[in-house]
Amino acid sequence: MMQKCPETKGMFNSASDSETTERHYKHFVELIQCAVDNLNDLDTALQPWLDTLGKGHAGFAIRTKHWDAFGEAVASSIAEWVGPGRGHKETVKAWMRISCFLADRLSAATRNYYPTPICTPRIQMLTILATSPSPPY
C-alpha cells in the first residue's frame, strides 16, 4: 500500500506511537480474513462492519485514494502470490473483486461520515474493535 501511495507511509509512522505500522499490518490481515470468512454473509456481517471501520477512519486524513491504494495492494499481493499462468486467472479476478469491494465500501463510509467533536477518531476506532464480527472458528 505504501508503494502504491507513498504518502500513506507518513500516516503510519508516528513519533508518539512507534508500533502503528505493525498494528496496522495485523489489522489489514484480520480485515482480509474477515472478508473471506464472511463472503456468504455480506449484508449482515461484512458490510456493516466495513461501514463501521470506514466511519472510524473519517476523523483521520484518510481519503478515497488511500483506500484505493489499499485495494490495489491487496490485488497486487494476490497476483504475486499465486504467480503467473492462465490457471490462476479466476483466482486473481475473484481477489480483485474482493479488494475493490473492500476499498469501495471503506471509502464510501469514510467519505460519508461526519464525526462529532465528542466522538474523536480514537474513540471511533475503539468502537470498531468492540463491534467487529467474530471469526466463525
pLDDT surpasses 60 at 131: no
* Rg of the chain on CA atoms, in Å: 15
CA pair distance 72, 38, nearest whole angstrom = 21
DSSP state of 45: I
* CATH code for residues 6-130: 1.10.490
Residue with cell 502504491: 4
pLDDT in tens, 65-102: 888 988 888 888 888 888 776 677 888 888 888 888 89
pLDDT score recorded for residue 107: 92
pLDDT single digits (tens) 16-47: 566 877 888 888 888 889 888 988 887 788 88
